[in-house]
């Protein structure tokens, strides 16, 4: 394990805890939303604050950054859209009657979920509400979006009224359910039943028709988003499942039990557990073979995703790390202590790239030996295979 890292820069402009951190699609800017009721825009080139968005009447719960516009939602029941160049508020979306927990921007739509038990759809370019999704018995905590074109074959039947718009919204709620809605009509398409606790996180794999949900019931569940069938239940966590990340059919889950687990999606097998956290795992991010985590113990950590070995601890925050982002081999951590910290991870990434290159080289040589072994008789072939097996064992160790 490497030594504890020191932050390249500590940004202390906010006067309250930072609840969310969003990276623009082009990677040029970061947006932070804070308990102080403001959002700040940061340049990834110089790590300086280049925008201060003021106007909300209460704390900001979540934020989302596009290349030209920023979106924030708040406990003041509203959502705001901002011009990233001028800092001007371009639109205020009013309609929710309680705290807005989450927003999602997709195509020309802005979706929101609230403690008022509803989700809503808005036009991005106007302050107009397009649709309201009503049916949850408790607050809506998390959102996902997809198009039926991503999952349905052309010959699969759909109701004629839904052909105009095939967009669907997925909502997770503290009422223990996940619901799938037609955006065009606001009609509930599926209610996914099975969780016995609040649904805290969702992650969608539309090409494979799968949805993953994490809950306070300690489980992760996989659903077929076309049929609504529950496919698998991942049960090994001993605490609420707080965050999920899906990479190359590997599912990573962060939990209040102080661990992250890695699962093979296709089999449901748990293949790795990442320990060392002293509090709940609040956020995680996979990058180049490394799993980065943020925790309630105020530390960020870097693990070798394959072996589970802890490679580095990033110390400096005073309270829980709520969100992390990675860009140009810099790690950004946002905390309830009100600071944004920037860490250099080039050393870890470089070492990991060398390790991956070495592994590929070894696998290539093993593959060549395997091919040659088939050209010899069984006795010689068995000897070569045994050699390969011993070599692989050394590599795994």
Q: Is the dihedral of CA 269, 274, 278, 279 positive or negative?
A: negative
List the domains of the chain with CATH numbers. Answer: 276-355 (2.40.10.480)
CA torsion 274→10→52→300, rounded to 10°? 0
pLDDT tens track for 238-267: 999 999 999 999 999 999 999 999 999 999
- Tell me if residue 49 falls in helix, strand or coil: strand
pLDDT tens track for 188-210: 999 999 999 999 999 999 999 99
pLDDT reported for residue 352? 81
Q: Whole-angstrom Cα distance, residue 129 to residue 123?
A: 7
Q: Using the 8-state DSSP alphabet, how is residue 363 labeled?
A: H
Token pair 């509400």 is found at 129
Residues of the chain with pLDDT under 70: 1-5, 152-165, 356-397
pLDDT reported for residue 383? 28
pLDDT reported for residue 295? 98
Closest by CA to 30, choosing from 336, 330, 246, is: 330
pLDDT reported for residue 359? 66
DSSP bridge partners of 91: 81
Q: Dig out the tokens for 28 from the structure.
A: 């040029």
Query: Is residue 15 exposed (0-12), middle (13-18) or buried (19+ Cβ within 10 Å)?
Result: exposed
pTM equals: 0.86
Q: Which long-range contacts (CB under 8 A, 24 or more apart) does 110-115 make?
A: 110/71, 110/79, 110/81, 111/143, 111/145, 111/169, 112/73, 112/79, 112/143, 113/139, 113/140, 113/141, 113/142, 113/143, 113/171, 114/77, 114/139, 114/140, 115/139, 115/140
Which residues are CB-contacts of 111 (< 8 A; sequence separation ≥ 6)?
103, 104, 105, 119, 120, 121, 122, 143, 145, 169
Which residues are CB-contacts of 383 (< 8 A; sequence separation ≥ 6)?
none
pLDDT reported for residue 11? 97
Q: Using the 8-state DSSP alphabet, how is residue 289 labeled?
A: T
Q: Using the 8-state DSSP alphabet, how is residue 8 labeled?
A: S
CB atoms within 10 A of CB 185: 14
Q: Using the 8-state DSSP alphabet, how is residue 155 labeled?
A: T
Which residues are CB-contacts of 274 (< 8 A; sequence separation ≥ 6)?
259, 260, 261, 262, 291, 293, 303, 308, 310
pLDDT reported for residue 355? 72
- Tell me if residue 216 falls in helix, strand or coil: coil
């Amino acid at each position: 394990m490497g030594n504890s890292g020191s932050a390249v820069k500590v940004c202390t402009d906010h006067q309250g805890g930072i609840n969310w951190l969003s990276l623009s699609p082009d990677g040029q800017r970061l947006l932070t939303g804070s308990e102080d009721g403001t959002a700040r825009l940061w340049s990834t080139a110089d790590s300086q604050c280049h925008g201060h968005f003021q106007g909300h009447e209460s704390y900001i719960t979540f934020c989302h950054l596009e290349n030209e516009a920023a979106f924030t939602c708040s406990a003041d029941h509203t959502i705001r859209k901002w011009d990233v160049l001028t800092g001007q508020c371009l639109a205020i979306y009013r309609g929710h009657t309680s705290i807005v927990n989450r927003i999602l921007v997709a195509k020309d739509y802005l979706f929101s979920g609230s403690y008022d038990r509803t989700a809503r759809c808005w036009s991005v370019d106007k302050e107009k509400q397009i649709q309201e999704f009503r049916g949850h018995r408790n607050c809506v905590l998390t959102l996902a979006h997809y198009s039926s074109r991503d999952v349905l074959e052309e010959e699969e039947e759909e109701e004629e009224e839904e052909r105009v718009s095939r967009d669907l919204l997925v909502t997770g709620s503290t009422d223990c359910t996940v619901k799938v809605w037609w955006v065009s009509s606001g009609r509930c398409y599926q209610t996914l039943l099975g969780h016995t606790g609040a649904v805290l996180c969702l992650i969608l794999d539309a090409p494979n028709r799968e949805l993953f949900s994490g809950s306070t019931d300690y489980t992760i569940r996989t659903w077929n988003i076309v049929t609504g069938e529950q496919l698998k239940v991942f049960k090994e966590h001993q605490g609420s499942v707080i965050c999920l990340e899906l990479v190359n059919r590997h599912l990573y889950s962060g939990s209040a039990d102080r661990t992250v687990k890695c699962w093979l999606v296709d089999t449901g097998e748990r293949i790795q557990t990442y320990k060392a956290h002293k509090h709940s795992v609040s956020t995680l991010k996979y990058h180049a073979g490394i799993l980065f985590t943020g925790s309630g113990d105020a530390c960020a950590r870097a693990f070798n995703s394959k072996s589970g070995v802890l490679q580095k601890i990033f110390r400096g925050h005073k309270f829980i790390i709520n969100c992390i982002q990675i860009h140009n081999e810099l790690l950004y951590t946002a905390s309830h202590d009100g600071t944004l910290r920037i860490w250099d991870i080039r050393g870890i990434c470089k070492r990991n790239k060398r390790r991956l290159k070495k592994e590929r080289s070894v696998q290539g040589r093993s593959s060549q030996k395997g091919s040659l072994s088939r050209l010899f008789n069984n006795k010689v072939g068995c000897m070569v295979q045994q050699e390969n097996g011993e070599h692989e064992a050394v590599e795994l160790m």
